[in-house]
Structure 1
Amino acid sequence: MLDSTSRILGELIGFPTISTDPNIDLINAIANRLDMVGARVEIFPDPSGQKANLFATIGPERDGGIVLSGHSDVVPVADQDWASNPFDMLEHDGLLYGRGTCDMKGFIAATLAMAPTYAALNPDRPLHFAFTHDEETGCFGARALAHTLRAKGLTPGVAIVGEPTMMRVIEGHKGCYEYTTRFSGLAGHGSAPDRGVNAVEYAVRYIARLLDLKHALRDRAPADSLFEPPWTTINTGRLAGGVAHNVIPSEAVVDWEMRPVQTSDADFVKDSLRHYIERELLPAMRAVDPESDIVTEVIGEVEGLIPTTDNEARTIVSELTGANHAECVAFGTEAGIFQSLGMSAVICGPGSIEQAHKADEFVALDQLSQCLDMLERLQDKLVA
């Protein structure tokens, strides 16, 4: 089974499914493979028709099934110094190199290698394969898939998201909310600052408010928080604006994110910023130029995975892997979206997040072997 998984992984790596590019060819290839073993396969394209989610089922048509989930997109390789072609998988010393080997086509390959075995089992409990687009840029595919499942009236019971965890069982992570805030002011000569509206200066004031909120959030950390750090964090990722030393900049952009441990923190931040803009920044800007504006674009608001006392997914995967405890992690996944549908969810997959997004990304054959062991034992959970 390991040889089959490696061969399939090599084929998947050959599709350069960077998030900015189409994934439809990869999805069609996966669909053909699952169709050949008798799975009921559905493809859900995005409005462009160049990207799509795939949802396939082996077993009966009913609620309560188990979902094996992975995202098909990968991060860019531009400006990275790779030792080999990132889209031509290379094996060396027990490691498989290539973009997406650990994040997260290795898990997808393992599930596809197991698909014929699951089909031959004729399971009593439905087994679903959910492969999405655009996870790396905001989990847009998973959000669309959630809408699709609601429309179908289908509620699986368990989601196993195969992000790279070194096969550790992960039961929680923070949310990931990303924003771009644009400032439109009034250009002018630097020698007459009162005649213009300096968008960069107002962006800096906005960032100062973000820093104040960043510190205030520490005092809001739940006493029983399992995360590290235990509070909601804010990061200012980029400030851009201006054209020259002596020109009042009319445009500025701030890219920022927060990672909430609880939705009330996100509400606190958004409400505070809205009040600050409406009561202080905009009145000052528009006193000079009524056309000045501040607009925030939501890039993505991805739910966190909240640890729960009762979690069937955690119980199942702990039994399959032999793990005696579950952990929380800092990075985000699609698991919270599945949880928002009423499913229990857990994260467990081959490879290390330390290798993700880097040059010479790899997954160890030993990790794929451990993943296959888990997926083989999963058969016992699919029969009455």
Structure 2
Amino acid sequence: MSHSRDLLAQLVRFDTTSRESNLALIDFVRTYLQGHGVTCELVFNEHKNKANLLATIGPADVPGIVLSGHTDGVPVDGQRWSVAPFDLTEQDGKLYGRGTADMKGYIACVLACVPALVRASLRMPVHIALSYDEEVGCLGVRSLIERFCAQPVKPLLCVIGEPTELKPVLGHKGKLAMRCDVHGAACHSAYAPSGVNAIEYAACLIRELVRLGEELKAPQHLNAAFDPPFSTVQTGVMSGGKALNIVPQQCSFDFEVRSLPAQDPWQVAHQLRLYAEHTLLPAMQAVSAQCAIGFSELSSYPGLATSSQSQAAEWVAQFCGSRDFGTVAFGSEGGLFDQAGIPTVVCGPGSMEQGHKADEFISLQQLDACDRMLERVVEFVRQ
């Protein structure tokens, strides 16, 4: 565990908040892997300031196991930390720092098992896959998955090390994030009926979203494996207007749909668009033909629903020593791997109860347990 702890200390020092570059961390990992004789492929974003990393240990011509994690983290702005967020601090059996739980603790353990993988004679490969921009919509991993899909053989299993306290998670919801822009007609508020109030029409759209969200709670849509057991809709950001005595011309709001794996979140967006086009726009354009309502996608990723009877589930149960399969409320890159034909299970050290908060931490006990889990992975892939 001391090796994992030391590697975690190095990883935490890199500020890889999604708005920042992750290249310094990626270069550290590449140098570490090259020091053990492992070659890496980097897949850059279009601006060349972020990169995914893909490394393969063992025979590349047979299906293997992917150990996957994201390198980015959420901001510390406005949070009251009692320790330095980008220095690892140990107190009372806990390791504090941004990303310790979500999810640099897992990455550190994966890197710590590299020497054992290199020494072993492997019957199947282990792929190390590190991505960027997971926290802002699972953006970077898509080009990484394309690399797997372009290879002659696909992996048999992907283990995504999001913090689940090392319990095997087979399902999570998908997410669709959208922006709605409402363009009205401004005028002096004393003559409000002569204008088109963009904020008020945005409020009508949000009210319709609330109604659509209530419909998703109907008994026929429920899945008791999830908490909450239904797809959810919520508006999180809204802006509009210039002054109280001006009928606002512009208003925009961002909303999200977190959908059960069997449901299509785009259905909500489609129904809202129909409501805008058939109910609101005619009234708006009767006052001003320039009025409009537009929708744009901010981000999306699919849900995950791996069968408990699958080989992937069975293998991860062996690795972590538990068949207590579950689901989580948060999303992951798992749905994208699964969608590409790579069976996926989410299982990693730490708890999301600590993720995204001030004084984020992972316990030494969880880090040690993850090392033990990965030792079983090494034994599994040996000749």
Per-residue deviation, 1:311? 2.4
The letter of the residue matching 1:73 is D
Comparing 147-156 with 314-323, greater Cα deviation is found at: 147-156
1:38 maps to 2:37:
yes
Change (3 A) 1:192 1:220: farther
The letter of the residue matching 2:56 is T
Change (3 A) 1:356 1:80: same
Q: Which runs of 5+ in 1 are unaligned?
A: none
Per-residue deviation, 1:340? 0.7
Partner of 1:22: 21
Per-residue deviation, 1:318? 0.9
Partners of 1:64 and 1:221 in 2: how far apart? 39
* Residues 43-82 of structure 1 deviation map (CA, whole Å, 9 limit, x = unaligned): 0010010011111100111242100010000000000111
Per-residue deviation, 1:234? 0.7
Partners of 1:109 and 1:301 in 2: how far apart? 28
Per-residue deviation, 1:236? 1.3
Change (3 A) 1:61 1:3: same
The letter of the residue matching 1:134 is D
Partner of 1:283: 282
Comparing 323-332 with 225-234, greater Cα deviation is found at: 225-234
1:302 maps to 2:295:
no
1:239 maps to 2:238:
yes
Partners of 2:264 and 2:133 in 1: how far apart? 26
The letter of the residue matching 1:353 is M
TM alignment of 1:258-273, pairs within 5 A: 258-262=257-261, 264-273=263-272
Partner of 1:187: 186
3-state SS in 2 of match to 1:201: helix
Per-residue deviation, 1:290? 2.3
Partners of 1:4 and 1:140 in 2: how far apart? 30
The letter of the residue matching 1:93 is D
1:5 maps to 2:10:
no
The letter of the residue matching 1:49 is K
Contact kept, 8 Å, 2:168 with 2:323, in 1: the verdict is no
Partners of 1:285 and 1:64 in 2: how far apart? 58
3-state SS in 2 of match to 1:368: helix
Partners of 2:220 and 2:329 in 1: how far apart? 15
Per-residue deviation, 1:9? 0.5
Partner of 1:72: 71
The total of aligned residue pairs comes to 383
Partners of 1:10 and 1:309 in 2: how far apart? 35
* Superposition RMSD in Å: 1.5
TM alignment of 1:124-273, pairs within 5 A: 124-219=123-218, 221-222=220-221, 225-262=224-261, 264-273=263-272
Contact kept, 8 Å, 2:177 with 2:257, in 1: the verdict is yes
Partner of 1:274: 273
Partners of 2:188 and 2:62 in 1: how far apart? 65
Partner of 1:117: 116
Change (3 A) 1:237 1:224: closer
Contact kept, 8 Å, 2:306 with 2:344, in 1: the verdict is no
Comparing 296-305 with 359-368, greater Cα deviation is found at: 296-305
Partner of 1:359: 358
The letter of the residue matching 1:382 is V
Q: TM-score, normalised by structure 1?
A: 0.96
3-state SS in 2 of match to 1:210: helix
Q: TM-score, normalised by structure 2?
A: 0.96
Partners of 2:348 and 2:236 in 1: how far apart? 29
Comparing 260-269 with 3-12, greater Cα deviation is found at: 260-269
3-state SS in 1 of match to 2:217: helix
The letter of the residue matching 2:12 is I
Identity rate, percent: 40
3-state SS in 2 of match to 1:56: strand
Per-residue deviation, 1:342? 0.9
Partners of 1:56 and 1:185 in 2: how far apart? 52
3-state SS in 1 of match to 2:32: helix
Partners of 1:244 and 1:341 in 2: how far apart? 49
* Residues 184-210 of structure 1 deviation map (CA, whole Å, 9 limit, x = unaligned): 222211111222221111110000110
Partners of 2:369 and 2:220 in 1: how far apart? 36
* Residues 256-293 of structure 1 deviation map (CA, whole Å, 9 limit, x = unaligned): 11111145442431221121122122222222222222
Q: Which runs of 5+ in 2 are unaligned?
A: none
Per-residue deviation, 1:222? 4.2
